[in-house]
Amino acid sequence: MHHFASGFQRNYYGKADVIVYRLRKPGGVFGASVTMLLYGDAFWPTYAAGDNTGLVATDSMKNFIQWETRNFTGADLETYCRFLAGKFLRTYPQTEGIQVEALEIPYDGAVALVPRGTERSMARIEITQEDVVEIRSGIYGFKLLKLGGSAFSGFVRDQYTTLPDVHDRPLHMWLDLEWICPEPITGRVREIVHQVFRTFESGSIQQVIYQIGVKMLADLPAVTEVRLEANNRTWDKVSEDEIYTEPRPPYGVLGLTLRR
């Protein structure tokens, strides 16, 4: 299910996973998977009566995204989403509101390009004919590992508890985060995540993500909200001579939202 910052919409439709690559010479690729969703009363007759008079075909939406990417001169996803959404509203005024989300398809290198790791930046904008409803950005897919400086102890103990107290462990966690900010700050957010994870000695993963969120709000005054969700993927110890294996399929999920 898709959600809108403006609230419940009686009907919406659009095109998802529209792949675009724009080559930037002398090297580099701007790559994204785009989802565009429209809503408005002009599209209701398609649902109620099969009347497509005001409908923009989703295939036309796909072509719009791919063709108009040629005219986008920026490099960040936030500006890209605003560019596509604004031009679409001007082109099709029967659209009351639009939500555009772009998920980065990352490549590194200058001439020989290779896919980059697991991290993918994201931007999503919802605007109407009157105003911007929300601009939200994020980075999905952090995989973070450090060999010490993490503890987990003092938790509830009862007949269901088998986990021992650990005062210094290797910590392996995955992290997704989103934020609301009117300007592009993805590079700085990536630096903050790595810095806090590397330097902070924690008593829990919850404390790690809290410190990341607090530092984002402190260092980036334009940020008004941060959402974080971590997975506990800490390795299972096989033997006392520091041999580990991947954790079993059940994993902990830890979420946090901080607002200014």
> Which of the four pLDDT bands, split at 50, 70 and 90, describes residue 131?
very high
At residue 109 the predicted structure's pLDDT band, cuts being 50, 70 and 90, is: low
The span from the CA of 199 to the CA of 211, in Å, is 11
More reliable by pLDDT, 63 or 235? 63
Residues with a known catalytic role: 15, 58
Q: What is the mean pLDDT of residues 66-72?
A: 95
Rounded to an integer, the average pLDDT of 39-47 is: 97
Give the pLDDT confidence score for residue 27 in this predicted structure. 63
Instruction: Please check whether residue 12 is in contact with residue 39, taking contact to mean a CB–CB distance below 8 angstroms.
Output: yes
Task: Report which of 107, 257, 100, 82 is spatially closest to residue 184, judged by C-alpha positions.
Answer: 82
Q: How far apart are CA 91 and CA 200, in angstroms?
A: 50
How confident is the model at residue 75, as a pLDDT?
A: 87
- Cα separation, 193 vs 70, in Å, equals 33
Strands 120-128 and 132-146: antiparallel
pLDDT tens for each residue of 192-240: 999 999 999 999 999 999 999 999 999 999 999 999 999 999 888 788 7
The whole-model pTM stands at: 0.88
Alpha helices in 31-129 (DSSP H): 44-49, 58-68, 77-91
Judged against a pLDDT cut of 80, whether residue 97 lies above it is answered with: yes
Query: Residue 115 pLDDT more than 80?
Result: no
pLDDT tens digits for range 138-175: 999 999 998 889 999 999 998 999 888 989 888 899 99
pLDDT of residue 50: 96
Tell which wins on pLDDT, 26 or 103: 103
Coil, helix or strand for 107? strand
Please state the rounded mean pLDDT for residues 37-66: 97
* Alpha carbons 151 and 143: distance in angstroms, whole number: 18
* Helix or strand (DSSP H, E) at 97: strand 97-104
State both tokens at 168: 């210094």
Decide if pLDDT at 116 tops 90: no
Domains of the chain: 13-130 (3.10.270.10), 141-259 (3.10.270.10)
Interatomic CA distance for residues 40 and 63, integer angstroms:
21
